[in-house]
Chains A and B, each alone.
Chain A
């Protein structure tokens, strides 16, 4: 070729063999057989519809495509199983649904999916590859008669690149098969150059696609005195208003909306029923409703002022609102909220209840370290008698409710500073709406085991699975759940247990929204019976 380079353009179109045209399927099949029997292998047949038997007639060997599919499918299975075994067995062992790390049944669906995926993709792409696709042109297209191959004509083509190709013999062979016509297939002599317009078009498209980027770059880097162009106006300017502001959205012009008729806010019902509270509200606490924390604050401040010799520091009480009646005990949060310096400031305020507390310091001294570790930050600064006070509810259980200051000991430090909230008269028995019968015990046990036992353990010793797991991991921040057999808790009346279940305590969350009233009382009953079971008296046997 290189010798004739200058003549390349005038070279006549290269012959690509012979093509015969038929108008009948059977002639077409017969011709294919003759061609096959003559020993030609680089042949092809074209028909407007799938012709039965043409593969055999033309001597086309069965495809090797199924092997690709089989091998790819096997690879998919292997890949999936190896991946799953390695991932969950070695790289990142993770207990899922209590199954072993390497758990074949669970691996099968993924193995199935990957088998299908690999097999399907391989089949499609191997099919394209084996067929030499995509192929944009074929020499047979140069003959305009060939257009009817998709309509009503059948064609057989013998390629000139065949090992035994002899132009005259092939022509004679094809003419002997009663075709409509036999034509020489010639190279498509149209130019192979890519049209200039195509280059231009692609270049234009590329440049056009840069325009948005350039515009954005320009907008971001150039100062402008025009206001910003908002693509989504209402995302930049939302029609919200702050509470107490006016609005044009609602007819009454108020931003704050009244409660929807017929709805009750959470915790806003039956505020003075002991059944819901767990204690009997007395005259002082009657006003203390879950949604009247501001009233509590007010009353606390006033009473505190009346009792305090030094009322000049109301700041702590107002800055840090006394917790609402529903959640008065959040010792875990309080120390975190208060800077370490603050308790020192409060010292004068706390002294008085501390003094009154002195006659019974023992339980307070012994227990806080164990049960209320969360409060430790508050502990070190003041003298020993001071920190002991705010913590344990044990004195509250021991001291009669009448001793108001002792009640303050139940409150976190801030509440202690304003010993206004009196002790609650916790119910000593189940409220009258419920009876301590078998059904109630069964319910309590069921709910305890469903909800509480994960941390507190089935027997209530604070050794539930979660706790054991945390210990096994040596989790530094884990606080062992309180044992319900603690002496302090043994002395709590059932109402207080109910109260704790409802509102939570320390790190324990409240379960008021998880369990309904009956279930909470049932669990409290079950807790009391658990305590009794672990500390049975000889007198219990008489029953």
Chain B
């Protein structure tokens, strides 16, 4: 293990990146505000904006949730290969507290009695008995309590894994790794329950009459896929700035790309399973959700998802030669990050109405704004923190790691 690998200008963020965090946050916030006015052009009150806000919020939060799961599962299986890149994932996961704060606008509108996002918040407007029966579960107070619980689980797990890993940076204590491994199992179980119900509550309940038991798994698949794309892109960009040299190798890119490929297939599998069962069963209360997503331009959007969220990246990254070229994989990571937005849009936005130029424009502005805020928060969170867990006992293994041909 050559010690020059761990000099500070190899394992910390470039200074020019860190200096950009305030402008990024400002531009992001402005764009989000602008999107409110764009949405005002299509009427329907704050409904389009809040739906767009939620879709883009989940777009960013899924990276962090994927990162958190990745960290825990690496400890669970005692993976050594990932030691060189795990810190980046820990850092992404530890931005979750910020996202809890960014969820507050939604909570506040709930207690303001608004049905802009969740129609169940105005019981007097509900006619469907099936929805009325759900009101004991779907109401502002219980919803807020559950949201607090979900964020509680995510934040505790993220702080545990990031905090202990930082402690190990100083002490090099191997016991810490053993402890984190012991906690990985229970934490993943909690995480799974929280993610599943968070997906039900935050996203699925925007259409309170509809239900899908696989929805949480769908969000999980989307989380993992987008997380690996973010990881590949982050490592690539850090390396292009002269960071992580000789630490993250082509072998790590290869492995993350394999995961990304796997989750492209897993996402398609889950998405198709959900569609096939509902399409085949042909029960009105189940197909209504897809009915909304086949009309008013969303049908084309869905076909676009099949092509760009499955077929194109599947064929694009199926080859080992592609996966072992970080530059190419950075392109495919960007591609995945765009189609992930298409996916989140497809899940949420059809509740607002048909596809229109203004809707997409406002939604895209909100998206860019939210991503800028996300980048800014990430840079802020990282600060001077090394992006490699330098005293991780697995690190020598990880540095010497090679994929078998």
User: Does B26 make an interface contact (CB < 8 A)?
Assistant: no
List B284-335 residues whose CB lies under 8 Å from chain A.
Answer: 318-321
Measured between alpha carbons, how far is A282 from B96 in the docked complex, in Å? 83
Known: A50-B404, A52-B402, A108-B272. A66 touches B279 (CB 8 A): no
User: Does A98 make an interface contact (CB < 8 A)?
Assistant: yes
CB distance from A55 to the nearest CB of B (A): 5
List residues of chain A with CB within 8 A of the CB of B318.
70
Contact of A105 (CB < 8 Å), options: B280, B319, B320, B404 = B280
List B383-404 residues whose CB lies under 8 Å from chain A.
Answer: 402, 404
List residues of chain B with CB within 8 A of the CB of A26.
none
- Contact string against B for A residues 19-58, beta-carbon threshold 8 Å, 1 for contact and 0 otherwise: 0000000000000000000000000000000101101000
Chain A residue nearest to B320 (CB atoms) is A66
Measured between alpha carbons, how far is A52 from B280 in the docked complex, in Å? 49
List B245-286 residues whose CB lies under 8 Å from chain A.
Answer: 272, 275-276, 279-280, 282
Chain B residue nearest to A97 (CB atoms) is B280
Chain A residue nearest to B321 (CB atoms) is A62
Measured between alpha carbons, how far is A25 from B280 in the docked complex, in Å? 58
Measured between alpha carbons, how far is A105 from B321 in the docked complex, in Å? 32
B405 lies within 8 A of A105 (CB):
no
B276 lies within 8 A of A109 (CB):
yes
A53 lies within 8 A of B402 (CB):
yes
CB distance from A61 to the nearest CB of B (A): 11
CB distance from A71 to the nearest CB of B (A): 12
Contact of B319 (CB < 8 Å), options: A52, A66, A108 = A66
Measured between alpha carbons, how far is A253 from B323 in the docked complex, in Å? 81
Size of A's binding interface in residues, CB under 8 A: 14
List residues of chain A with CB within 8 A of the CB of B280.
97, 99, 105-106
List residues of chain A with CB within 8 A of the CB of B276.
105-106, 108-109
Known: A66-B319, A66-B320. A52 touches B404 (CB 8 A): yes
Chain A residue nearest to B405 (CB atoms) is A55
CB distance from A476 to the nearest CB of B (A): 34
Measured between alpha carbons, how far is A66 from B318 in the docked complex, in Å? 10
- Contact string against A for B residues 176-206, beta-carbon threshold 8 Å, 1 for contact and 0 otherwise: 0000000000000000000000000000000
CB distance from A32 to the nearest CB of B (A): 14
Chain B residue nearest to A109 (CB atoms) is B276
* Interchain pairs with CB closer than 8 A, number: 24
Measured between alpha carbons, how far is A314 from B267 in the docked complex, in Å? 79
CB distance from B202 to the nearest CB of A (A): 28
List residues of chain A with CB within 8 A of the CB of B279.
105
List residues of chain B with CB within 8 A of the CB of A99.
280
Measured between alpha carbons, how far is A325 from B335 in the docked complex, in Å? 77
List residues of chain B with CB within 8 A of the CB of A53.
402
Measured between alpha carbons, how far is A50 from B402 in the docked complex, in Å? 11
Interface size class of B (residues with CB under 8 A): 10 to 19
Best-buried of B272, B279, B320, B405 by chain A (most CB within 10 Å): B405
Known: A52-B402, A55-B405. A105 touches B282 (CB 8 A): no
Measured between alpha carbons, how far is A66 from B404 in the docked complex, in Å? 15
Measured between alpha carbons, how far is A128 from B280 in the docked complex, in Å? 41
Measured between alpha carbons, how far is A108 from B276 in the docked complex, in Å? 9
CB distance from A78 to the nearest CB of B (A): 15
Measured between alpha carbons, how far is A97 from B320 in the docked complex, in Å? 42
Chain A residue nearest to B403 (CB atoms) is A52
Chain A residue nearest to B276 (CB atoms) is A105
Measured between alpha carbons, how far is A105 from B302 in the docked complex, in Å? 14
List residues of chain B with CB within 8 A of the CB of A52.
402, 404
List residues of chain B with CB within 8 A of the CB of A105.
275-276, 279-280
List B40-58 residues whose CB lies under 8 Å from chain A.
Answer: none
List residues of chain A with CB within 8 A of the CB of B320.
62, 66
List residues of chain B with CB within 8 A of the CB of A108.
272, 276
Chain A residue nearest to B272 (CB atoms) is A108
List residues of chain B with CB within 8 A of the CB of A50.
404
Measured between alpha carbons, how far is A66 from B272 in the docked complex, in Å? 26
CB distance from A200 to the nearest CB of B (A): 46
CB distance from B270 to the nearest CB of A (A): 13
CB distance from A393 to the nearest CB of B (A): 42
A98 lies within 8 A of B282 (CB):
yes
Measured between alpha carbons, how far is A108 from B321 in the docked complex, in Å? 29
CB distance from B278 to the nearest CB of A (A): 10
CB distance from A389 to the nearest CB of B (A): 51
- Contact string against B for A residues 89-133, beta-carbon threshold 8 Å, 1 for contact and 0 otherwise: 000000001110000011011000000000000000000000000
List residues of chain A with CB within 8 A of the CB of B405.
55, 62
Measured between alpha carbons, how far is A93 from B6 in the docked complex, in Å? 68
List residues of chain A with CB within 8 A of the CB of B321.
62
List residues of chain A with CB within 8 A of the CB of B319.
66
List residues of chain A with CB within 8 A of the CB of B404.
50, 52
CB distance from A327 to the nearest CB of B (A): 39
Measured between alpha carbons, how far is A355 from B184 in the docked complex, in Å? 94
List residues of chain B with CB within 8 A of the CB of A98.
282
Measured between alpha carbons, how far is A109 from B318 in the docked complex, in Å? 20
Chain B residue nearest to A73 (CB atoms) is B318
Measured between alpha carbons, how far is A50 from B404 in the docked complex, in Å? 8
List residues of chain A with CB within 8 A of the CB of B402.
52-53
B275 lies within 8 A of A97 (CB):
no
Measured between alpha carbons, how far is A62 from B319 in the docked complex, in Å? 12
List residues of chain A with CB within 8 A of the CB of B272.
108
List residues of chain B with CB within 8 A of the CB of A55.
405
CB distance from B101 to the nearest CB of A (A): 42
- Contact string against B for A residues 55-77, beta-carbon threshold 8 Å, 1 for contact and 0 otherwise: 10000001000100010000000
Measured between alpha carbons, how far is A104 from B370 in the docked complex, in Å? 37
Measured between alpha carbons, how far is A98 from B279 in the docked complex, in Å? 11
List residues of chain B with CB within 8 A of the CB of A97.
280, 282
Measured between alpha carbons, how far is A66 from B320 in the docked complex, in Å? 9
Chain A residue nearest to B251 (CB atoms) is A52
Measured between alpha carbons, how far is A66 from B261 in the docked complex, in Å? 15
CB distance from A33 to the nearest CB of B (A): 16
Measured between alpha carbons, how far is A183 from B304 in the docked complex, in Å? 63
CB distance from B158 to the nearest CB of A (A): 35
Measured between alpha carbons, how far is A109 from B276 in the docked complex, in Å? 9
Measured between alpha carbons, how far is A98 from B321 in the docked complex, in Å? 45
Chain B residue nearest to A54 (CB atoms) is B405
Measured between alpha carbons, how far is A70 from B321 in the docked complex, in Å? 14
Chain A residue nearest to B402 (CB atoms) is A52
Chain A residue nearest to B404 (CB atoms) is A50
Measured between alpha carbons, how far is A66 from B322 in the docked complex, in Å? 13
List residues of chain A with CB within 8 A of the CB of B275.
105
CB distance from A95 to the nearest CB of B (A): 13
Measured between alpha carbons, how far is A212 from B282 in the docked complex, in Å? 57
CB distance from A90 to the nearest CB of B (A): 22
Chain B residue nearest to A55 (CB atoms) is B405
Measured between alpha carbons, how far is A97 from B283 in the docked complex, in Å? 12
Measured between alpha carbons, how far is A55 from B279 in the docked complex, in Å? 49
Measured between alpha carbons, how far is A55 from B280 in the docked complex, in Å? 50
CB distance from A434 to the nearest CB of B (A): 27
Chain A residue nearest to B273 (CB atoms) is A109
Measured between alpha carbons, how far is A98 from B320 in the docked complex, in Å? 43
Measured between alpha carbons, how far is A109 from B282 in the docked complex, in Å? 18
Chain B residue nearest to A70 (CB atoms) is B318
Measured between alpha carbons, how far is A109 from B275 in the docked complex, in Å? 12
List residues of chain B with CB within 8 A of the CB of A106.
276, 280
CB distance from A47 to the nearest CB of B (A): 13
Best-buried of B280, B321, B402 by chain A (most CB within 10 Å): B280
Q: List 20 A-B contacts (CB under 8 A).
A: A50-B404, A52-B404, A55-B405, A62-B320, A62-B321, A62-B405, A66-B319, A70-B318, A97-B280, A97-B282, A99-B280, A105-B275, A105-B276, A105-B279, A105-B280, A106-B276, A106-B280, A108-B272, A108-B276, A109-B276
In the complex, besides A66-B319, A66-B320, A97-B282, 7 extra interface pairs with C-beta distance below 8 angstroms are A50-B404, A53-B402, A97-B280, A98-B282, A105-B276, A105-B280, A108-B276
A-B CB proximity, top 10 nearest: A52-B402, A55-B405, A105-B279, A105-B276, A50-B404, A97-B280, A108-B272, A106-B280, A105-B275, A66-B320
